[in-house]
Amino acid sequence: MSRITKKVRLGLMILIAWAMPLAVAAAPFAAFVMDARSGQEIYARNADTRLHPASLTKMMTLYLAFNAIERGQVRLDSKFLVSSHAASQPPSRLGLKAGQRIELRYLIRAAAVKSANDAATVIGEGLAGSEPKFAAQMTQMARALGMRNTHFRNANGLTTEGHYSTARDMTILGRRLFYDFPQYYSIFSRRSADAGIATVSSTNRRFLDSYDGADGIKTGYTRAAGFNLTASAKRGSKRIVATVLGGTSTAHRNATMVQLLDAGFGKAPNRVREVKPAPPVFVAEKKVRRTVQVASVAPRTASSASTVRLSSSDRPVARASTVAVVTPAAISAAISRAQAAAAPKASSSGATLAASARPNRKPGTGAVVTNAAVDPEVLARAARPEARPEEGDASEPSASAIDAARPAPAPRDDRSASLAAPAETGSPSLFVQTATPQPESMALFEAPAPAPRSDAIILTSLEPEAGSEPETTEIVTREGSTGGNWGVTLGLFRSQREAEQLLLRTALQESASLGSALSRVANTKRGFEANFVGMSKETAELACNRIAARQQDCRVIGP
């Protein structure tokens, strides 16, 4: 029985040993090559096929970490708490323990150089509160960067359902790291780094040492993904970024990358316009649809006018939108009744007007009638001089009725009332104001002309008035910023000009971290010292860390 068991175990071991290379070789292969200066495609093979990115995922983890530092959310010396979930991640690991606190700078080095899974998980949990939340932020940032076929489920790249990317998207991300965070990009070319609790070696050191001009970026491997690599190299004025997914071994992956980069340098033009990537554009995943209800009122006519009754009030006055059609026959009848009522008060000549279809219009006193709501009784009362509104006639129509007949009422004074007075000949004149009155019936023509505006220009004299005391002007001078007595020094230089140029270039690059610090060149016996002064201790340390990330010597100086 024991012999059979041994033979079965041996057979299984042989089968597993034979199947493992086939499983690795079965990983789909994809590649993409890009001119980093312009973002133009040079070569593509299965570039948009969704595959397992493995530890190339950590490029996005580091991108969000750099972004958080630049936005001031965290600092390089911020300490992150290691959770039990992060400490339990499988290799590659830094060896973090649950409950431990470690600075972000060491986590970045471990994730970028050693590709430590526990360090990447601590970064994600420290920035977002949990790894699922951080993965959602990673996916959102991927969309903002134009990575259309990428979805993240964790911060380290271990194989998980629904965690995928493409060769094209990983190349886009590699180019973004170079252009968006040049001050941190050098971390990807280090062969080793101090990760706080240990010195770690680069997983990409073989390729960095073997290919001329290579300066990054990231390797990755899982059984499901195969051997992956996103690399960047520069030769002369050309920079090429490329990605390989699904290599069968480290040697095969590196050899394939060499061929891709060589082809890229051969096809890329010597001179091309550099097009830096635009800032990330975030698009909301969920759109809230708002329904706006607009009330509309259908036009009313005389035949379709509705009657509205209120239970607690009398019938309201007809709406202004109600239009009554006045026929010539109705107008003639109204004029006849008005003339008959005004006959006892005719002029001394005794002349009266006989009923006619329409009186002749005299110059300047012509009658204007439009399609307005006109009551014949109102017209008759308007023709009587004693019925003028300013005389307080008891039969005066209500203000609402008058407003309903004219959409733009003018001020009612003696001048406007005179429009309804009879002419000098004693013949009554009938005027009904409309929305567009005729020029001869406008009360504005009879109003007094306004006083002409003065064309004089008054200039404020800059000379004090005679006998006045000039105001006391207080001149405040200060030597520099009062932010603090700390600063940073960039080293000694042989000439003052060289030191000033370095201070100017650094001030432009690090304006956010330097704040209101003053640049100053100190002339010492050893040379010209380039300094930034007038900062607090915290500001000086942060600024020096960022300057050092640009491969520039920097040292904090205190009071």
% helix, strand, coil for the chain, step of 5: 35, 15, 50
How does 118-146 read in b/e, with b if 16+ C-beta sit within 10 Å?
Answer: bbbbbbbbbbbeebeebbbbbbbbbbebb
Give residues with Cβ within 8 angstroms of 130, minimum separation 6: none
Kindly report the pTM of this predicted structure.
0.51
Q: Is 115 a catalytic residue?
A: yes
CB contact at 8 A, 222 and 54? yes
Alpha-helical regions (H) of 54-130: 58-70, 84-87, 104-109, 117-128
Ranges of CATH 3.40.710.10 domains, the chain: 36-267
Question: What distance in Å separates the CA atoms of residue 384 and residue 333, rounded to the nearest whole number?
Answer: 16
Question: What distance in Å separates the CA atoms of residue 82 and residue 75, rounded to the nearest whole number?
Answer: 17
* Structure tokens belonging to residue 429: 């004149």
* Structure tokens belonging to residue 357: 């279809």
Question: What distance in Å separates the CA atoms of residue 546 and residue 554, rounded to the nearest whole number?
Answer: 9
Residue from 367, 369, 335 nearest 354 by CA: 335
The sign of the CA dihedral 492, 496, 501, 504 is: positive
Domain 486-557 has what CATH class?
alpha beta
**From 83, 115, 202, 513, active-site residue:** 115
Residue from 212, 217, 168, 152 nearest 189 by CA: 217
Distance of alpha carbon 363 from its chain centroid, rounded? 66
Residue from 224, 219, 225, 212 nearest 250 by CA: 219
Question: What distance in Å separates the CA atoms of residue 78 and residue 75, rounded to the nearest whole number?
Answer: 5
Q: Which amino acid does the sequence have at 494?
A: R
Q: Which amino acid does the sequence have at 63?
A: Y
Q: Is 332 a catalytic residue?
A: no
Ranges of CATH 3.30.70.1070 domains, the chain: 486-557
List 102's β-bridge partners, or say none.
80
- Name the DSSP letter for residue 51: B
Question: What distance in Å separates the CA atoms of residue 554 and residue 544, rounded to the nearest whole number?
Answer: 6
Question: What distance in Å separates the CA atoms of residue 309 and residue 359, rounded to the nearest whole number?
Answer: 40
Q: Which CATH architecture is the domain 36-267 placed in?
A: 3-Layer(aba) Sandwich (3.40)
CB contact at 8 A, 76 and 56? no
Q: Is 58 a catalytic residue?
A: yes
Neighbour count for residue 356 (Cβ, 10 Å): 11
pLDDT value, residue 94: 97
Radius of gyration of the chain (CA): 45
Over the chain (559 residues), the average pLDDT of each successive run of 10 is 57 51 58 97 96 98 97 96 97 96 98 97 97 97 97 97 98 98 96 96 96 96 96 96 96 95 95 92 58 49 46 52 54 69 49 50 49 47 46 40 44 43 41 43 49 52 41 38 76 87 79 80 89 88 87 88
pLDDT value, residue 331: 67
pLDDT value, residue 452: 59
CB contact at 8 A, 556 and 541? yes
Give me the half-sphere count of Cα atoms (radius 13 Å) on the Cβ side of residue 342. 29
**From 55, 92, 202, 427, active-site residue:** 55
Q: Which amino acid does the sequence have at 109?
A: R
